[in-house]
Amino acid sequence: MHCLYLLRKTVNCAVQNVMWYFFGIVTGVDMTPHSAPVEPFDLVIFGGTGDLAMRKLLPALLHRFNDGQMPPGSRVIAVARDHGFSSAQYRERVQQALSGKGDHAGLADFLPLLDFHALDVTSAEGWQSFAQEVLRVGERVRVFYLATSPDIFVPICEGLHSHGLAAGQSRVVIEKPIGRDLASAARINDAVGRFFSEQQTYRIDHYLGKETVQNLTALRFGNALFEPLWNAAHIDHVQITVAETVGVESRGPYYDKSGALRDMVQNHLLQLLCLVAMEPPAAFSADAIRDEKLKVLRALKPIDASNAAQLTVRGQYRAGAANGQSAPGYVEELGQPSDTETFVAIKAEVANWRWAGVPFYLRTGKRMPERLSEIVVTFRSVPHSIFEPSAGPLQSNKLVLRLQPDEGVKFWLMNKVPGPGGMRLRHVAMDMSFAETFNVRHVDAYERLLGDVVRGNPMLFMRRDEVEAGWRWADQILAAWANSHEAPNPYTAGSWGPSAAVALIERDGRTWNDDAG
């Protein structure tokens, strides 16, 4: 134990020293986050009483307010149907929702910025007075966040347009899911596109706002170290896992029409895959990066009826245990029979010169043993070992980017166990979690993304062609599954999915990462 502790301590110290060089960080560099000032703006949340608004958007806005990023005169207008409550009552509701959560400093000063406006967006009535309220202050950045079901995106956009609210510096934010297949995504994009230009449209995938995801771009393109190795000659495979411990709970009716492929893979996992696999963009600009991501999506090898059985696994959880308690199966939670998958594993491939032959194993599911999102890039083994067998086995270098629960980056290396006793080797993780090292406050993805919309920076948002390219690939898998008429493989709640998912990777001589090194 003591030896292991010393080893870790020695390695961490050494590694931290090395890291100062690797990352060009020298003592004295100011690590405090810098944000340029913004002008007063309006943020209208359609769906201001909903789950997303209460759990994510308003807490994120509170942080922006505390960071001085909501200058005096900025307004947040929450819109929902008539609940008979006033702005004061809405603020009370927000206060209750937010004060039950971690950090709510500054809440009393933030609340006066909030107003509630009752409006049924599907009705012609009420839009006039809403527009008057919004236009009461002169031209400014106006963000319309559609935190509602996609069914009412069109009436909202139509209403905004016909009341003069889509012009000038207005922008619209739309949430996933953007459709349930290519055709429906195109319909939503067409409908929104009739009233808002592509430059005004921000399609959110909050995974892109995560610190670690951005750090991936910094690691790849800010260092000479990784990029020469970032290809099929040096990388053995990539794993992307997004695991949730929760079941479907009250989201059953929505989820049952969707399933894990539509809900998680088509958006979050594919976006992460793109950032790992894309070519260096010519510049750190929104379109340069999105152009490169699009090329990756277009290079994904098709998975269709000819190969879906070999390259994909669908699963659905049965009763088991989660978080130390017994948990019902999906069908019991839903209250009706269903063939919707709550788990999917895919062996994908990016068919281009850089990646040909490198598997990208994607895995996501509900009722997994831990809540975990990570990207694992495993490098190839050294070609020949010079060490005696007594030194222990050589393991591959791995770059592990963890998105949740704790954002961080670890690089696994072989090291000598210090001290006498000959050459003994151990696989040790060097921790590259800079937020922790420099004691920088963790910024939530929504916080960063809301700030980017206000600033008009679309880099971390999905362009229409990306969304549609993702669907084009996912649709073939969905069609193959539908034609096979096979039920998803059962797995016990609290496990890592069906045994077929283990077999998917193990028949290639690899295993899913367990971070034990």
Question: Which residues carry out catalysis?
Answer: 268
The minimum distance between CB 424 and ligand NAP, in angstroms, equals 48
- State the nearest-atom distance from the C-beta of 227 to ligand NAP, in Å: 33
SS3 58: helix
Q: Please, which residue, 50 or 418, has the CB nearer to ligand NAP?
A: 50
Alpha-carbon distance of 351 to 441, in angstroms, equals: 39
Contact 474, 464 (CB under 8 A): no
Q: Is 450 helix (H, G, I), strand (E, B) or coil?
A: helix
Give residue 371's Cα distance to chain centre: 13
Quick one: 156 or 454, whose CB is closer to ligand NAP? 156
| 481 φ/ψ sector (left φ>0, alpha ψ -120 to 50, else beta) | alpha
> Between residues 51 and 139, which has the closer beta carbon with respect to ligand NAP?
51
Kindly state the smallest distance separating residue 73's Cβ from ligand NAP, in Å.
25
The binding site for ligand NAP (CB under 6 A) comprises: 46-52, 55, 79-81, 83, 119-122, 147-150, 152, 175-177
What H or E segment, with its residue span, contains residue 338?
none
Q: Which is nearer to ligand NAP, 47 or 488 (CB)?
A: 47
List, in order, residues 6 or more apart from 389 with CB less than 8 Å away.
none
In the complex, the smallest distance separating the C-beta of residue 85 from ligand NAP, rounded to whole angstroms, is 10
SS (H, E, C) 455-503: HCCCCCCECHHHHHHHHHHHHHHHHHHHHHCCCCEEEECCCCCCHHHHH
> What whole-number distance in Å separates Cα of residue 60 and Cα of residue 53?
9
Please, what is the minimum distance in Å from the beta carbon of residue 51 to ligand NAP? Answer: 4
Rounded least distance, CB 302 to ligand NAP, Å: 28
- Apex 11 CA angle, 407 and 228, nearest 5: 65
User: 3-state class of 294 per DSSP?
Assistant: helix
Q: How far is the CB of 433 from ligand NAP (least distance, A)?
A: 26
Distances in Å between the Cα of 26 and the Cα atoms of 22, 221, 303 are 10, 19, 47
In the bound state with ligand NAP, the residue whose beta carbon lies nearer, of 46 and 379, is 46
- Write out the two tokens for 388: 């005696």
8 Å CB contact between 134 and 154: no
**Continuous segment of H or E residues that includes residue 210:** none
Q: Are 374 and 241 in contact (CB under 8 A)?
A: yes
| H or E element at residue 509 | none
Nearer to ligand NAP, 68 or 253 (CB): 253
Residue (152 or 478) nearer to ligand NAP, CB = 152
Look-up: residue for tokens 């429906």?
Answer: 184
Return the H-helix or E-strand segment holding 219. Answer: helix 211-221
- End-to-end CA separation in angstroms for the chain: 17
> Minimal distance in Å, beta carbon 53 to ligand NAP?
6
Would you say 112 or 253 has its CB closer to ligand NAP?
253
Going edge to edge, which strands form the sheet with 201-203? Answer: 114-118, 75-80, 41-46, 141-146, 170-174, 201-203
| DSSP H stretches of helix in 50-152 | 51-52, 58-66, 87-99, 107-110, 127-135
Q: Which residue is nearest to ligand NAP (CB)?
A: 50
Q: Could you give the C-alpha distances from 144 to 172, 459, 469, 517, in angstroms and in order?
A: 5, 18, 26, 45
Pinpoint the alpha helices (H) of 35-86.
51-52, 58-66
Place of tokens 């905004």: 160
Cα distances (angstroms) measured from residue 32 to each of 106, 127, 431: 20, 43, 20
Q: Which is nearer to ligand NAP, 6 or 246 (CB)?
A: 246
Contact 359, 347 (CB under 8 A): yes
Pick the closer one to ligand NAP by CB: 102 or 357: 102
| CB-CB neighbours of 232 under 10 Å | 15
Q: Whole-number minimum distance, CB 151 to ligand NAP, in Å?
A: 8
To the nearest whole angstrom, how small is the minimum distance from the Cβ of residue 467 to ligand NAP? 14
